[in-house]
Amino acid sequence: MSELEKRIRNKSLLSKIAKPEDTLQYFKETEKRTLNLGWSGFTPVGYPKVVPIMLADYVEKNNLQGKWKFNLFIGASVGAETEDRWATLDMIDRRWPYQTGKNIAKAINSGKIRFGDKHLSMFPMDLKYGFYTKDNGGKLDIAIIEASAITEDGHIVLAGSVGTAPEIIYLADKIIVEINTGSPSFEGMHDIDYCRIPPYKKVLPITDCRQRIGTPWVPTDFHKIVAIVESKLPDNGRPLRGTDELSQKIADNIMHFFLDEIKAKRLPENLLPLQSGVGSIANAVVGGLVDSPFKNLFVWTEVFQDSFIPFLKSGKCKYVSCTSLSLSSEGFKDWWENYENFKEFVILRPQYITNNPEVIRRLGVIGMNTPVEVDIYGHGNSTCVMGSRMLNGIGGSGDFERNSYISMLHTPSVRPSKTDELGISCVVPKCSHIDHTEHDVDVIVTEQGLADLRGLSPKERAREVIKKCAHPAYKDYLMEYLEKAEKKTGYAHEPQILSECFKIYESLEENGTMRFWNK
């Protein structure tokens, strides 16, 4: 018996085994209308590969670019060899709710792809409610799901991520399963419960990161499975971004803050469950926890990154609840070498649960995310560069910033432009686009320092942000702007000079630097 046949424990489904090209028949209706597709995956892990790649090859070979187009609904981003290649072949009409990739971002910002940005906790719910597919009765035409196995009862055991896969499987008229025999099975790591429609929603009874409330497989009507395809392709996981000196300074500021909060008895000695975003700062924070005095730490987050592996090995991290093992190829090698130990301390849940405001608030999560920029009053921009150009999407940052016990935004104080190494200030008078309002942000951190904004009025916040977080090259300008705005508005609640607050962006567009006073 082949490894694929072993993974299909419902033997009535063996007749559904097919080659990738055999599934082409299910996609040809796109010649008449745009099909709604749901994929598994969350970050470049657990996403279908062989069928999307086969479809891309078919479109390219038959010059169907722009003729075969699909609406893609996926929990978050997936591998560049699939959706980013689809973007180059003009195969995507609509895409929700988050993406990463040079070509797909280019297509979004040129108007070729209609992209919708949504909080990751809300996307599975809105999908289940039928908001995105009103023209199709709220249904998805086809789900393409990467799996580890199929149970005796025909339920799908997912691979290295969960994301929105449970809702996609529920909504799809047809299901194509890619069983990845190139990786060991992830069976036993999942805790699956999909969202329900009001008035039948239920309480999520999670009071501890380690609690299980669902099943280790996705409840599936296996009669909807039309094909099972074998895959041996690895996840095109994101490589570990190293920690630089600047990121380390930000992490050090956060570690000192935690110690002060413990002394003030606002945090217990083992802190509270931690959420960490992605990137070099997030890695530095996790690395700082490995070397910190904190013990018995818990993590409630979206993605398990490479930096969590030494965190687990250190013994200081007791448990991680996430929705995706977002590891590099090197990270997965380490993961599988230590799997028997790690699997006892990591659980994979749907993003509907990992990002759920109800659970985040109950657990008292400490949320830490990196924005594009912040402004002096504490607003944050996580999505649109210069107010217009979509980067990736809001992801889960809004879920955690609004609902965490302590909501933190960490960013470098400046970034280089093409002509000025200090050309872009990440602390501005007024954000060019706002995803996180001042009402949701408690703490702002840069390599310059940490501004604790809790309990402060807007003008107090502004002075604290400028003093603690702004780069010296911009500090005087920002303070002068604040004082001028106060006088001009009669010391209004949150003073802004609308004719001047975006002047630094105009300077960046025209001169390549925000330092318009330094021409």
Residue 416 is classified by DSSP as -
Radius of gyration of the chain (CA): 24
Q: Give φ, ψ of 351 to 5 degrees.
A: -65, -25
- Residue of 104, 59, 57 lying closest to 78 (CA atoms): 104
Residue 116 identity? G
Report the 10 Å Cβ neighbour count for 491. Answer: 10
Residue 424 identity? I
Residue 21 is classified by DSSP as G
Token pair, residue 5, equals: 């046949």
Q: DSSP H helical segments within 273-322, as ranges? A: 280-290, 308-313
- With b for 16 or more beta-carbon neighbours within 10 A and e for fewer, the 25-48 pattern comes to ebbeebeeebbbbbbbbbbbbbbb
Q: 253: exposed, middle or buried (C-beta count within 10 Å: 0-12, 13-18, 19+)?
A: buried
Q: List all residues 6 or more positions away from 167 whose beta carbon is below 8 Å from its beta carbon.
A: 124, 127, 128, 194, 195, 350, 352
Token pair, residue 111, equals: 């108007």
Q: How far is the CA of 223 from the CAs of 16, 154, 172, 173, 174, in angstroms?
A: 10, 9, 12, 10, 9
Q: From CA 410, how far away is CA 285, in angstroms rounded?
A: 10
Q: DSSP H helical segments within 79-171, as ranges? A: 85-88, 102-109, 123-129, 165-171
**From 167, 178, 261, 302, active-site residue:** 302
- Residue of 406, 432, 403 lying closest to 514 (CA atoms): 432
| 302 in catalytic set | yes
Q: From CA 76, how far away is CA 52, in angstroms rounded?
A: 16
Q: From CA 425, how far away is CA 415, in angstroms rounded?
A: 6
Q: If DSSP codes are grouped into helix, strand and coil, which group holds residue 320?
A: strand
Q: From CA 84, how far away is CA 101, in angstroms rounded?
A: 6
Residue 225 identity? I
Tell me if the bond preceding 97 is cis, omega within 30° of 0.
yes
Left if phi > 0, otherwise alpha if psi is -120 to 50, otherwise beta: which for 212?
Answer: beta
Which residues are known catalytic residues?
302
